[in-house]
Structures are given as C-alpha cells and as structure tokens.
Amino acid sequence: MNNPLTILKQTYGYGQFRGQQAGIIDHVVQGGSAFVLMPTGSGKSLCYQIPSLCREGVGVIISPLIALMQDQITALEQLGISAGAINSGMPYGEVLRVRQKLENNQLDLLYVAPERLVMEEFLELLDQVNIALFAIDEAHCVSQWGHDFRPDYTALSLLARRFKGIPRIALTATADKATRKDIVDRLKLGDGKTFVGGFDRPNIHYSILERNNPKKQVFDFIKNNHSEDSGIIYCISRKKVEDMAEWLQGKDINALPYHAGLTPQVRSRNQDRFLREDNIIIVATIAFGMGIDKPDVRYVAHMNIPKSIEAYYQETGRAGRDGLPSNAYMIYGMDDAAMQRNWIENSEAPDIQKRIENQKLNALLGLCEAAICRRQILLEYFDDTGEPCGNCDTCDTKPETFDGTIAAQMALSAVFRTGQRFGMVYVVDVLMGKVDDRIQRFGHDKQSTFGIGDKLSKNEWQNIFRQLVSQNLLMVDVNEHNGIKITEKGFLFLKKKESVNFRKLTEKQKAKKEKSGKKSKVVLDNDLDQSLYENLRTARQQMAKKRRVPAYVIFNDKTLIELAQARPQSFEEMLGISGIGEAKLKKFGQTLLDVILTG
C-alpha cells in the first residue's frame, strides 16, 4: 500500500498536509467513513483522492455537476492520475471506453452524477469491480435543511446498505448544525468520524454596503481594486444579469452573462472562457458556480442579497481558493428582503420549511446591518469563533452607532397600538404624526403614539425599522400584506426594558464606503521577480492553450510566485517548489527552466 505523505510529495508536489487532512486521510485509508466540513480552498479533494490512490480499487466520486467533471479529470491527468467520468453528457463510445477501463481496474478515480450512480444497471456494474471508497462531494445537497437540496442525492442512502464495508466520505463547505446532523443521518455516517475544520477564510476581505447606485457602485469597486482580475458578479434575475453584462461591455469590460435561460452552448462557452482566460468577469445568477474550482477568482460581488448566510458564504467562498488576497463585496437593499420573503411564501414548501427559510433570511439581514466585525458574525453562525478580524469593512471603519432604545420602544408600541397589521410606511406616518384619510378613518390619530416620533425623518425611521427587522424584534408578515408584527424577542425587549444600538447611516459614511474593498493584485517585492512572474504567466498560458486546458490546471499562481522568488536552476531544485510533483516536472519543467534561465 502506498504511503499518503509520499503521494502528497511525489504526485502533488506539496511538502506537508494542511489542517486536518492527514487525520482524515489516515482514517479513510484504514477503511473508516467520515463526514468532512471544511471551508472552500482548504483542500478537501485530497481527502478522498489520496485514500483512493492508497487503497485497492477505484475511488467513486459523486458530484452534482457533470459540466465540470472533464476539467477535474484533465487536472488529475496532469498529475499522472488515471481518472474518468461516466455521465449523460458524454458520447456513448466514450462511456464504453471508460467502462472498459473500469472493468480492467485501470482507473484510480471515477466521477459520476448521483442520478447515474443509483441506476440499477450502474450499481450492478459497480458490484463487479473493486471499490476503494465512495466520496460524496457537495454533501449538503442531501439535506432539506441545506441551502441547495437535490432530491437525487437522497437515494445515496443506499450506499451504506449495498456496499457494506466500503468507506464513505461526505464533504461540504457549508452546513449549519441542523444540516450536518441531517447529512450524517441520511448517509448513515453515524459509525464514522466527523471532522469539522474552522470556517475562516482569512484571505477574503468582506464588505457589505447599502445599494444606492448599483451598477456604478460595482463598476467603481472593480475599477479601484480589480482592473485586471477574474471575478464573479451575482445578480438576482436573468434580466438583471443580461442588463449588467451589457452595461459593463459598454464600458470595455470583458463581462459575460451566465444564467439558466441561455442555451447550453452559450453557457458552456462563457464558462469556458472564464476558466481559461485571465481577466474575464462572469455576471450570473446563482445557477453559476457550484463546483467551479478556478483558484484565482479574485472577487465575488453580489448586487442583491442571497437567501441565507450559508449561500452567501458558499458564493463568496469561490473567491481566493489559492489563498491569495481576495474580495467579497455586496450591496443590498430592503427590496431584496421583500422579494426573498415573497418567494418563500409563494413556494410549495411545507410551513416548517418556510419558517426555516425565513429565519435564515433574518440571519443574513442581521449580517448586512451589523455594526460589528462581519467575519465574527459569519463564524458564529457556523458555531466557530474569532476575534475582530481587521480584514472587513466594519473593522476597517467602525460604523457609527447610536442608542436606539427609546426609538425602538416608540416603534414597537406604534406597531402594537395600530394592531400589528399595517406596513412600515403606514406605521412611520403614524409615528411622524402625518394626517391622512386612512389614519383618521382608523382613528390612529387619536392614539398616544401618534406624532411621538416627529423628531426623526422618514429616512431615519425606515433605517430603524429595517434594523428592528434584522435584529428580529419586528417581523414582516408576507401573508398579511407585509403587515409588521412584534416578535417574541420584541415583546421580551419591551418587557425587560432592554436597550438596543443601531447603525447610523450618514451621508458622509456613504461616500466613504464607496471605496470599500481591498486591492488584491499580486505584486512581488522586487521588479525582477515581478517581470519573471509575468513571463512565467505567459508561458503558462501558452502551455495551457496547447493542451486546451485552463491555465490553473497547469500551475496555480502560488506556484508561479514561488518560482519567481526562488528561481530554481535545476529539475531537482524545482521539485522543492510547492505544486510541482513528478508528472508536472516531466511535462512542464523544461519550459519553466528555460524561462527562468533566459529571464
């Protein structure tokens, strides 16, 4: 049996295991099952790839995205690993060829989609071959509590019964507590071990600001921080995607649209260009991104809020897999929240699921309105902890806050006295003492709360109401025409006479926030290193083009940076560079040496 550390060094070219990799790999190599929760970019793939190489037989990887399997396979082939995929998108001849290899025991790794795996015919094929392990990637898809439930995944519970004794390893980067438990139950991993890595992505800078001029805000963010980088911009609808992509193209930016309404050809062409070329921006709905493991995405921008913190975390997590500085930038407005609430209410889901989704949305709004470190809130959400990070907008510039206790008491009692059934605009009018037909008709102009809030402007009251909702003291009831109600927490707040702080929104602060984000271009200290780095990038692009693979499949930026700094002069020295293993040295070593020696 091969030794994991030897494989890490010789095949992958890495010096040591990171975080919990070694423990997980040992456990699975010994035949144990595992549930692995680790952040994007932390190296989950190695946790099933290396055990597959160590153990007898083929590692079967279940992954939802067939469109990306081919790229994963080419990347493995560059490492000298024999991998194949079987899926419905392949020509029949190709399926037969992979099948043949499988039956001849010539594959190290086999990628399949869940719907294929559970077909009886396919299971019978697997019965006949030696299987090293099953890896269930994006395992949160198995859970209804997760944020991307896929019914096909539920059938995977049969693996435990049908393939007794073969280790199963389920991996995900995003799952709250309920989701974790559900994954372990459904995949019957109770006898296995759970590995939960920290959630932190220290290289990502977070900033979240109010939306006032969406296109220009995002454009300025890109111009100021990322003029030559690859990035993803998320929009809420197909129409908004088209609109933004076109607008950016008009400004001479390489922006390409991606959403489910485009033809499969256009989608895969745009995705391909994003993966293969430098400096392409994808403007997309959430249809884009799962399984994209391009390591040098330098930023993810959201023009609308996603539906939960998990979704936000997963989407922003697509930035900076290579560990180099990257940005997560989001602009938000309360109309986003109203739209999301409507979707939840109008969906066919059972009530309990709707309640869960509403809570998830509240947590996300809380993150948006927060006056404390964003990273702390994110980490806490996943039961992780951390100090204020110094690498997010609220750490960069502490938001001004004010004591909102009295205002909150006024707002809540106005909501209560008007019967907890009117919308925000109406209640604010009552507070400000506005006289109109409706208010008079309901007799609300005669109540004690009428006009008690006339010291604050309409904008200030709306800001307060938003934060009351995001802090979960008030809720918007979409079933009752968006009527505002007091939550349990809100009643407690009144009863216990608690105090509350709100985030101030001054014009000055808004202007400052436009500069949000952090420069993250790779700049090496010394001019010579920098020009060698640029030359190495060009060489990488040529090698990638020749093989028709994405540049990062050849080497990632980190490897090139190390090469430019260490300037190895021989094949032997080159093996000391992180990311250069034996197969890659053979394929690309001479080209790199030529660049270093002549440059």
- Which residue ranges make up the site for ligand ADP (CB under 6 A)? 14, 17-18, 21, 38, 40-46, 293, 295, 321, 556, 578
Instruction: Give min distance, CB of 375 to Zn ion, in A.
Output: 5
Q: Which of 392, 474, 532, 596 lies at the binding interface for Zn ion (CB under 5 A)?
A: 392
For residues 331, 335, 336 and 337, what is the CA-based torsion angle, rounded to 10 degrees?
Answer: 120
Token pair for 294:
């391009």
Instruction: Give min distance, CB of 107 to Zn ion, in A.
Output: 45
Query: Which residue type sits at 356?
Result: I
Instruction: Give min distance, CB of 16 to ligand ADP, in A.
Output: 6
377 near Zn ion, rule: CB under 5 A: no
- Residue 45 burial (10 A CB sphere; 0-12, 13-18, 19+): middle
Q: Which of 297, 295, 291, 369 is nearest to 330 (CA)?
A: 369
Nearer to ligand ADP, 23 or 399 (CB): 23
d(CA 237, CA 205): 26
What pairs with residue 205 in β-bridges? Answer: 327
When CB distances are held under 5 to 8 angstroms depending on the partner's kind, the choice from ligand ADP, Zn ion, none that residue 395 binds is Zn ion
CA distances from 262 to 256, 287, 309 (A): 11, 11, 28
Instruction: Give min distance, CB of 434 to ligand ADP, in A.
Output: 53
Token pair for 421:
């059934």
Instruction: Give min distance, CB of 21 to ligand ADP, in A.
Output: 6
Instruction: Give min distance, CB of 157 to ligand ADP, in A.
Output: 23
Token pair for 139:
């395992």
Contacts of 70 (CB under 8 A, 6+ apart): 85
Stretch of 94-102, 368-376, 471-479, 556-564 lying at the interface with Zn ion (CB under 5 A): 368-376
Contacts of 531 (CB under 8 A, 6+ apart): 599
Nearer to ligand ADP, 42 or 394 (CB): 42
Pairing outcome for strands 501-503 and 401-403: antiparallel
- Residue 486 burial (10 A CB sphere; 0-12, 13-18, 19+): buried
Instruction: Give min distance, CB of 379 to Zn ion, in A.
Output: 10
When CB distances are held under 5 to 8 angstroms depending on the partner's kind, the choice from Zn ion, ligand ADP, none that residue 35 binds is none
Runs of H (alpha helix) within 251-333 = 264-276, 309-316
Determine the 3-state secondary structure of 594 from DSSP.
helix
Q: Which of 292, 389, 500, 554 lies at the binding interface for Zn ion (CB under 5 A)?
A: 389
Determine the 3-state secondary structure of 392 from DSSP.
strand
Nearer to ligand ADP, 14 or 426 (CB): 14
How many residues contact Zn ion, by CB under 5 A?
5
Q: Which residue matches tokens 């040992």? A: 26
When CB distances are held under 5 to 8 angstroms depending on the partner's kind, the choice from ligand ADP, Zn ion, none that residue 373 binds is Zn ion
Instruction: Give min distance, CB of 138 to ligand ADP, in A.
Output: 10
Nearer to ligand ADP, 155 or 196 (CB): 196
Instruction: With beta carbons less than 8 A apart as the criterion, state whether 470 and 481 touch.
Output: no
395 near Zn ion, rule: CB under 5 A: yes
Nearer to ligand ADP, 46 or 160 (CB): 46
373 near Zn ion, rule: CB under 5 A: yes
Site residues (CB under 5 A) for Zn ion, limited to 66-105: none
Stretch of 128-136, 386-394, 440-448, 468-476 lying at the interface with Zn ion (CB under 5 A): 386-394
Nearer to Zn ion, 14 or 206 (CB): 206
Residues of the shown chain interacting with Zn ion in the complex, contacts defined by CB under 5 A: 373, 375, 389, 392, 395
